[in-house]
Amino acid sequence: MILFTSIPLYPYTLFLHLIFCYLDPGSGSLIVQMIIASFLGGLYFLKVYWFKVKTFFQKLTGKYKEEEKE
């Protein structure tokens, strides 16, 4: 499968010396937006799953105490 997908790409490698990279302000703002979205997504994940994450780290360090159910 990899052979069939990589063979059509070989002609493009002949022109790699003609390619110039250009980052315009739109690309820079997209990168900044992705960094901010990743950070906020991580914070949201911690907010939603805080108890599970806290319990995981408590079990990992040995400080977790199970509550006795009566």
State the number of CA atoms in the 13 A half-sphere of 63 facing the CB: 6
Is 0.75 surpassed by the pTM of this model?
no
Structure tokens at 62: 């040995």
pLDDT for 14 equals 73
- pLDDT computed for residue 53 by the predictor: 80
Contact of 51 with 57, CB cutoff 8 Å: no
Q: 22 φ, ψ to 5°?
A: -145, 125
- Compute φ and ψ for 34, nearest 5 degrees: -65, -40
pLDDT in tens, 27-63: 888 889 999 999 999 999 888 888 888 888 888 888 7
Residues 6 or more apart whose CB falls under 8 angstroms from that of 64 comprise 55, 58
